[in-house]
Amino acid sequence: MKIGIIGLGLIGGSLGLCLKSTKIVSSVSGFDLSKENEQAALNLGLVHEILSINEMKQKCDVIFLAIPVEAIISTLQNLKDCKSDTTIIDLGSTKFKILESCPSEIRSNFIAAHPMAGTENSGPKAAFKELLKDAVVVICDDKDAGEMHMKRAVEIFSFVGMKIVFMNAKSHDHHVGLISHLPHAISYSLVNSVLKEENRRNIINLAGGSFTGMARIAKSSPEMWVDIFKQNKSNLLNSIENFEKELKICTDMIKNEKWDDLQKWMYEARKLRDII
């Protein structure tokens, strides 16, 4: 298979690096709006060559979209004249609006997938071969995709070493709103609140594992996460509302010195240890 990857950052670059070593792939081509990213991807060996999107449409059997979710929607319009045997796989963190916006001409070509993998770093230099190995990838609304395209996507994800989960798009966006998007909103809020209260020296000297761990994902790309928050607005707002209710419970127990109740509440949260 000849693979094309649009977007050569952390996800796209890591995918390219991994696919280059698989037996089912003969070439990996890349494209990025940033010429600097394209050159870095070549220098780092993430792709074999750089092609334009139009060249990918002619040459590639599979085109991956590893770009911000708003850009996925606009790029799909540019791909609606793809050949019927070209598989298009998006790797965005939201699914419902992307599927809703997919042109009818390529709906059977299109696989809506979300790899549950990443770091707080971005760009080609952040890419590494093992990023996707053993990670879950969610494929949404698979029954609307063509059988050949679905088999091809499953084969690629399997060779990469990913665990495949099938889910409808609305459920996916609800669940990631809680488990992925809410933590990012909390992290950005935490960091901004600390930056307004503390100077740089105190942060450097006193930041231990708890703050560093919670603040890590606030280093993620704002451009990418604004798009995600925009597309999953309703689910994210519901998640924030539920979080605020729990924070209010915590606040009231501290304020009223209900230490036994606070301890029980904390033990409830510790049940997560049995899950992950």
Same domain, 13 and 133: yes
pLDDT score, position 206: 75
Same domain, 27 and 118: yes
pLDDT score, position 253: 98
pLDDT score, position 227: 96
pLDDT score, position 274: 85
Cβ atoms of 51 and 41 closer than 8 Å: no
Counting Cα atoms < 13 Å in the Cβ hemisphere of 142 gives 18
CATH of the domain at 215: 1.10.3660.10
Same domain, 115 and 205: no
Same domain, 6 and 112: yes
pLDDT score, position 252: 98
Same domain, 63 and 144: yes
Closest Cα to residue 125, out of 27, 4, 218, 36?
A: 36
Which regions of the chain are under pLDDT 50? none
pLDDT score, position 170: 96
CATH of the domain at 75: 3.40.50.720
Total number of domains in the chain: 2
Same domain, 118 and 136: yes
pLDDT score, position 46: 97
Same domain, 176 and 153: no
Same domain, 114 and 211: no
pLDDT score, position 104: 95
Cβ atoms of 79 and 110 closer than 8 Å: no
Query: Which of 167, 199, 227 is a domain's end point?
Result: 167
Same domain, 119 and 21: yes
Write out the residue range of the structural domain in which residue 14 sits: 2-167
pLDDT score, position 53: 97
